[in-house]
Structure 1
């Protein structure tokens, strides 16, 4: 179920997203007996699925990864890369794996869909996630859906749980950044057409640019220090959910409700 994407992919393209997943969702992967992660729409080559297995197993050694592609020829081409813990399957948004995955990563997949289709896809994918379990403190599975540039320098993604969207994360290679609003071109489909006056995401990027400009004196200490200062200032007016340890990575995460499109 779904449409064939362009399939563009490059090694190490999704490193920023993977690094964030390991930091924020690694404990959930370790908690379950059989953690299954899905790389949905991995593209014309299986590099991102291979890398995802390696990175997740560094945090949760029992993790299994299933690469899912809607184009049969891409699945056939990926089969020689199967190994212990890594399999490839033909399919789409129905997620053709047994049980409920603890993670679904869908990078650069919805970019080619209409904005009106996003909510339905999110709902379908969230319904396939492992459910929350209050008895153990589990928040359930995680869907990470977003967009990045061709070599992974700039990336924006939405994190969703079984209950729906939770947060939006902006991540960048700071040396490539002129100003934070440069990330607007990588907004996920749910937000990219909302970067206009009157919409929350536009106001957020405007305020981020202002905080970045005000932090210009810190540029003499490097782009990292300037970013940290700008995010710290931004957090006084916006619900930033992470801490300086993540900001140092060129990231900032904000609650979804603050950036969600107006009705």
Structure 2
């Protein structure tokens, strides 16, 4: 793992990016995979043989193979390509290849046979600086198939807490926080898993800090719902954020907590990027 950021190495014929630590575990990406297949099924089904890329699948191919199975349940003709910048990881992963599932050497340049419909890049940008993020996002988004999505984020070692940004070719669209409601004390527990674009912005005066503070207050007010289950408490928290915004007629939450109760009960909270984007810098626009 590279401990400090460097300029992206762009060399002819070489993958773009730095080698990551490669830590992975079975079922670690279940929350983001469930969200993708549940909320963006049409992205997969509206394209013939949609190509899904798992960028930086790590030292073992387990989570790439799991994504392949989950996507195939939605789009039976989907194909998945795992990309890694380290040749030894690719060689190891090829032992589990099967029709529709392959592994290649690659990085942010996404040198795939055709534009990918979906790119999942998880736990890849943690080693970079915040200033690197816009360029990396732009490099990957430019390679997307029209109508495709890039999902970039971070999760803990076993997938209990996660956060990700969903982007299209035009840029970031939404931020999703996802947790196991039984294993968090409050919504802001996810702060340490915010994507690189936001993790250093969780300070007073920043929109993402306000989002987490408002979510914590709503969580506290929803304590009685915990008698039914932590899932119900999380859903009540999300509903309270929406209702408070609607009642007061103010941004950022008025009618803009996305997904609805079915998603909220899964421990998800999705908001437009405009709710959480940095207050200044290239990602503020």
Shorter-chain TM-score: what band?
over 0.9
> Shift in Å at residue 261 of structure 1?
0.1
Q: 2:125 pairs with 110, 123, 135, which one?
A: 110
TM-score (norm: length of structure 2):
0.88
Task: Give the SS at the match of 2:112.
Answer: coil
State yes or no: 1:227 paired with 2:242: no
- Cα distance between partner residues in 1 of 2:114 and 2:205: 42
**1:254 alignment partner in structure 2:** 271
Q: 1:199 pairs with 206, 226, 237, which one?
A: 206
**1:50 alignment partner in structure 2:** 65
- Cα distance between partner residues in 2 of 1:95 and 1:25: 21
State whether residues 89 and 96 of structure 1, in contact with CA within 8 Å, keep that contact through their aligned partners in structure 2: no
Q: Which runs of 5+ in 1 are unaligned?
A: 132-139
State yes or no: 1:5 paired with 2:20: yes
State whether residues 38 and 104 of structure 1, in contact with CA within 8 Å, keep that contact through their aligned partners in structure 2: yes
Post-superposition CA distance 1:106-145 (Å, at most 9, x none): 00000111111001000011000011xxxxxxxx000000
Q: 2:115 pairs with 81, 89, 100, which one?
A: 100
State yes or no: 1:209 paired with 2:226: no
Tell me how many residue pairs correspond in the alignment. Answer: 255
- Cα distance between partner residues in 2 of 1:76 and 1:177: 38
> Shift in Å at residue 190 of structure 1?
0.3
> Shift in Å at residue 217 of structure 1?
1.2
Post-superposition CA distance 1:137-186 (Å, at most 9, x none): xxx00000000000000000000011110000011111101001101011
TM-score (norm: length of structure 1):
0.96
**1:68 alignment partner in structure 2:** 83
State whether residues 212 and 226 of structure 1, in contact with CA within 8 Å, keep that contact through their aligned partners in structure 2: yes
Q: Which runs of 5+ in 2 are unaligned?
A: 1-15, 246-252, 281-285
Cα RMSD after superposing both structures: 0.7
